[in-house]
Amino acid sequence: MAGTDRPAWYSIAYLIFVALCIALMSFINSFLEHERPSKPYIERSYKSVKSNKSVVEIEQNKEDKDSIKSEKKIEDNTQKTQVDQEPVTGGESKNSQSDEKYFSDLIKNYKVSVLSKLERPDSRTDIVLRYYAKPKDKGMVYGLSKYGFYIHERSSNDVYKNFATNALYYGDDVKSEDIQLVSYLLLDAGVELKKILPSKLHDDWKSNAIEIGTDTSFLKLPTLRLKDIRKNWN
């Protein structure tokens, strides 16, 4: 057995060789781990059995169809909401309504949105209704009180006492709907309105006021019609 003895350097060289092999294998394994997908790769066919279209194309078409269906559903819901929110006007738009129908709806909406919320006999405080009383009006203006207006009555100047009311003046902050409503009620009561004009004065109370009076320069003008007062006055 003495002949098989190897020198000490041989054992050292062998150990170094083994260590190098282990290090090399560790390096190769580490490289492969780095290249390996983080998730298992599942092979799949990109060809449909019954179609030449790829699965990607089929899925894209499905997404497009779902998107179209979703948009159509949103559009239908929007249209339904708009129909539900619009007031019932017998299928007519406001522009195509007759004047009589337009003012009938105006009165109905006013009774619901304004008049029903007043605690009678309280009157509206957001608007001032100033009336310069005249005998020739025969009390026709006072019907406005039934619609929640408090009539601030003042005597007319002697120059106008022998004339009937023929003019309406509105302040800067008066709503168009109130101008239409008061004008309509006056015409309906028999008052011969000739002109509706913005007030020339703009002090505190006049900005929220409708003044009912007379202008002798309007005497020969034709009486206003419903279509004449059916406009936006603001």
- Following DSSP, what letter does each residue of 189-222 receive, concatenated? HT----EEEE-S--STTGGGEEEEE--GGGTTSP
Give the pLDDT score at 20: 83
Tell me if 88 is assigned to some domain: no
Residues of the domain holding 31: 10-35
- Top-ranked range on mean pLDDT: pick from 13-17, 29-33, 182-186, 204-208: 182-186
**Of residues 62 and 41, more confidently modeled:** 62
Strands in the chain per DSSP E: 128-133, 151-155, 167-170, 195-198, 209-213
Instruction: Name the least confident of 4-8, 136-140, 203-207.
Output: 4-8
Tell me if 89 is assigned to some domain: no
Are 112 and 222 in a shared domain?
yes
Which tokens hold the place of 141? Answer: 């203006």
Give the pLDDT score at 93: 63
Per-residue confidence at 6, pLDDT binned at 50, 70, 90?
A: low
Are 111 and 17 in a shared domain?
no
Give the pLDDT score at 21: 79
Mean pLDDT of all residues belonging to the chain = 79
pLDDT digit string, tens, across residues 34-44: 444 443 333 33
Q: Is the peptide bond before 37 cis (omega within 30 degrees of 0)?
A: no
* Torsion angles phi and psi, residue 49, rounded to 5: -65, -40
Tell me if 184 is assigned to some domain: yes
Rounded-to-integer distance, Cα 210 and Cα 199, Å: 8
Give the pLDDT score at 121: 83
Strand, coil or helix: what is 151? strand
Tell me if 74 is assigned to some domain: no
Rounded-to-integer distance, Cα 183 and Cα 179, Å: 6
Are 29 and 109 in a shared domain?
no
Tell me if 142 is assigned to some domain: yes
Give the pLDDT score at 46: 33
Total number of domains constituting the chain: 2
Tell me if 106 is assigned to some domain: yes
Tell me if 167 is assigned to some domain: yes
Are 31 and 113 in a shared domain?
no
Give the pLDDT score at 28: 61
Are 138 and 218 in a shared domain?
yes
Per-residue confidence at 90, pLDDT binned at 50, 70, 90?
A: very low
- CB of 88 within 8 A of CB of 215? no
Tell me if 82 is assigned to some domain: no
CB burial class (10 A; 0-12, 13-18, 19+) of residue 155?
A: exposed
Residue 72 has pLDDT above 90, yes or no: no
Rounded-to-integer distance, Cα 234 and Cα 232, Å: 6
